[in-house]
């Protein structure tokens, strides 16, 4: 099948991937836009994994004040070069992360940052609930693990569903951005302020 410029353009607009990557994906997927989109997503994950060990010493600190001036967020997102830190696409990503923090109120960036005592307390609460509901002992641990995973999705920024597209997690968004921009990116830290808290 012949891959036309309009097909490449359509895929680029849909994914944000480079022209050559889009052309290759369309060739691999016989011109099927949906399959090519999935192919590019997989390719992006591989590219992002290769970049994960690279140092991120540049970046920006972004401030977001929610309309009404009652809620604000400061977030630091790092990248490899100052050139990318000034890139409009990178800045839009950082803005989206700040808005995510404002909307979803995570506690930490990644689950490894959570206090082990807090996790153990949550585990005990879920265990007590499951036993109190009369669940069989052999499945209590599975129930607890499932509830703990749900808890992580609520309190860990990287695991939250993206507020603008709940089918995508923040980690998926980050991976796509790393693949698109071509540099390692790290959400370093954040602070969320609300009047009266």
Return d(Cα 121, Cα 111) in angstroms, integer.
Answer: 15
CATH code: domain 5-51 is 1.10.8.10
Domain 115-154 class? Answer: mainly alpha
Contacts 24+ apart (CB under 8 A), 113-117: 113/156, 114/155, 114/156
For the chain, what is the radius of gyration of the CA atoms? 20
* Percent of the chain residues past pLDDT 90, beyond the cut: 51
Contact call for residues 90 and 81 (beta carbons, < 8 A): no
Cα–Cα distance list, 69 to 96, 104, 123 (Å): 18, 17, 37
Sequence ranges of the domains in the chain: 5-51, 58-109+156-194, 115-154
Q: Which two tokens stand for residue 70?
A: 């009652």
pTM of full prediction above 0.85: no
**Which pLDDT value is given to residue 54?**
59
Q: How many C-beta atoms surround the C-beta of residue 151 within 10 A?
A: 19
CATH architecture of 58-109+156-194: 2-Layer Sandwich (3.30)
Q: What is the pLDDT of residues 58-93, one digit of tens each?
A: 899 999 999 999 999 999 999 988 888 899 999 999
């Amino acid at each position: 099948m012949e891959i036309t410029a309009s097909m490449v353009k359509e895929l680029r607009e849909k994914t944000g991937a480079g022209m050559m990557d889009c052309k290759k994906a369309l060739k691999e997927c016989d011109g099927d836009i949906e399959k090519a989109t999935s192919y590019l997503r997989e390719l992006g994950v591989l590219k992002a994994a290769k970049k994960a060990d690279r140092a991120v010493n540049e970046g920006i600190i972004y401030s977001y004040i929610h309309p009404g001036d009652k809620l604000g967020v400061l977030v630091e997102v790092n990248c490899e070069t100052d050139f990318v830190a000034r890139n409009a696409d990178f800045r839009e990503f950082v803005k989206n992360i700040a808005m995510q923090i404002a909307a979803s109120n995570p506690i930490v960036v990644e689950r490894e940052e959570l206090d082990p005592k807090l996790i153990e307390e949550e585990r005990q609460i879920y265990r007590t609930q499951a036993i109190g509901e009369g669940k069989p002992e052999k499945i209590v641990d599975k129930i607890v693990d499932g509830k703990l995973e749900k808890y992580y999705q609520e309190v860990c920024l990287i695991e939250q569903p993206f507020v603008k597209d709940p089918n995508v997690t923040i980690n998926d968004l980050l991976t796509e951005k790393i693949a698109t921009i071509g540099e390692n990116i790290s959400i370093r830290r954040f602070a969320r302020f609300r009047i009266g808290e």
